[in-house]
Amino acid sequence: MKFKLTFWKTVFLVIMVAGLYSSYVRFFHGLGAATNMSDQFPWGFWIGFDCLCGVMLAAGGFCMVGAVYLFNVERLHPVVKPAVLTAFLGYLLFICGLLFDLGRPWFIWHQLIYRNVHSVMFEVGMCVMTYTTVLFFEFLPNVFERLNWKTPIKWIQAIYPVLIVAGILLSTLHQSSLGSLYLIMPSKLHPFWYTPALPFFFFASAVAVGLSMTIFESTQSAKAFGRQLELPVLVTLGGALLVALWVNLLLRVEDFYHRGLLREIFKPSYEAYFLWLELILTYGIPIAMLSFRKVRLSPKLLYFASVSTVLGFITNRLNIAVIGFETYVGHHFVPRWTEFSITLMMMAMGFFLFGLAVQYLPIFTAEEPHVVHEPSVIGVAPALSHAGD
């Protein structure tokens, strides 16, 4: 056990040191030195992964809040707090990531004063800003609980309906609008991924990923913090995931059919290989698995199905952000190591903060007494519990 902790600690340190060096390159030598972005590829890996995937991976927050507080699925109550925490950290890290990607990040606040209401980017920016605030308030009771402050908790409880409705409204808007960003590029984005239905796909995939991430996270947290897995929770999530995947798949097939691409997608081509990878990971594997009752009742297999789903939708968004532009541009985009390094640093920070929060705040519900960990655990073992935002 001790060796393992040291191992993860080392990994964490290496990632942080490399990340800090890359940050130095980014802010002292510019985007050109730190990334392989160019006039041909003005948006690279960071937009694809940190932004498009990051926001998607944090969708568990609004999915679980919606399920529990809007639709009263009481069974899922134990996962709301960790899901909200993941979402809150995810959005904070997304904003940090954006500061690396923006050329003039010190002017990010310009959105508030020079508003262009016709811009999808403006809408996404405002929604993300407001939603992060909402998540902050949804997360705050954990801190008050810990400090045993009763009155502020009551204040937040009083506005909880507003927070819930606003949170879901804002999520619907910006999760779908991330897809709308690409609507203006019909001549650049490959037809496999360019469709007027992009906003619908982005929202539908966010729900599927929200569910898979919650399964993933519950399983990992259980492992890392030695907690009991709540099987009814996982079974409910698994069932919902199967439905969400079918909805996604039907939308997708309908779109291919509608645009006359059903034949095209089976012809081997550079784009087709990436499309196949995406479709197998998002639909093939998880739908086949989840169709068996045995899988839906097995935490381990459910875990694999959800990992496959998450990887599939990550492939989907990277296809949209990077692969789908390569034919138009005429060459491949390969990120520089510093780009990966900064993204890894963000993820490591996510694990670290999640571990920290779980250790010091009553995230895993009050029903079981707070487990006290040895200090050495911080940020290292929990690293397993939280993936990629």
Partner 1 sequence: MSKALLYDATLCIGCKQCEGACAQQNNLPYDDTVAAEPVQSAHKYTVVLNKNDKYMRRLCMHCEEPACASVCPVGALHKTKAGPVVYDVWKCIGCRYCMVACPFSQPKYEWQSLNPRIRKCIMCPDRLAAGKQTACAEICPTGATKFGEREDLIGEAKQRIQQNPANYKPRIYGLNEVGGTSVLLIAGTDVEDFGYPASPKIGEKPMPEYTGRVMERIPDFVPLWTLVLGGVYWISHRRDEVAAAEAAEKNGGKQ
Query: What residues make contact with partner 1 under the rule CB under 8 A?
Result: 27-33, 37-40, 42-43, 69-72, 101-105, 107-108, 110-111, 114-123, 125, 161, 164-165, 168-169, 172-173, 177, 180-181, 183-188, 199
* Structure token pair of residue 136: 């902050």
In terms of CB distance, is 90 or 199 closer to partner 1? Answer: 199
Q: How far is the CB of 160 from partner 1 (least distance, A)?
A: 10
Among 35, 12, 76, 22, smallest CA distance to 235 is for 76
Q: How far is the CB of 37 from partner 1 (least distance, A)?
A: 7
* Structure token pair of residue 9: 């600690």
Taking the CB of residue 264, how many other CB atoms lie within 10 A of it? 15
In terms of CB distance, is 164 or 302 closer to partner 1? Answer: 164
In terms of CB distance, is 178 or 363 closer to partner 1? Answer: 178
In terms of CB distance, is 3 or 106 closer to partner 1? Answer: 106
> What is the residue-wise DSSP string for 33-50?
HH----SS-SS-HIIIII
In terms of CB distance, is 182 or 351 closer to partner 1? Answer: 182
Q: How far is the CB of 42 from partner 1 (least distance, A)?
A: 4
What's at 105, amino acid-wise? P
Q: How far is the CB of 6 from partner 1 (least distance, A)?
A: 39
Q: How far is the CB of 30 from partner 1 (least distance, A)?
A: 5
DSSP-derived letter for residue 386 is -
What's at 331, amino acid-wise? H
> What is the residue-wise DSSP string for 84-149?
HHHHHHHHHHHHHHHHHHSSSGGGTTHHHHS--TT-HHHHHHHHHHHHHHHHHHHHHHHHHHHHT-
Burial 327-348 (b: 16+ CB within 10 A, else e): eeeeeebebbebbebbbbbbbb
In terms of CB distance, is 13 or 184 closer to partner 1? Answer: 184
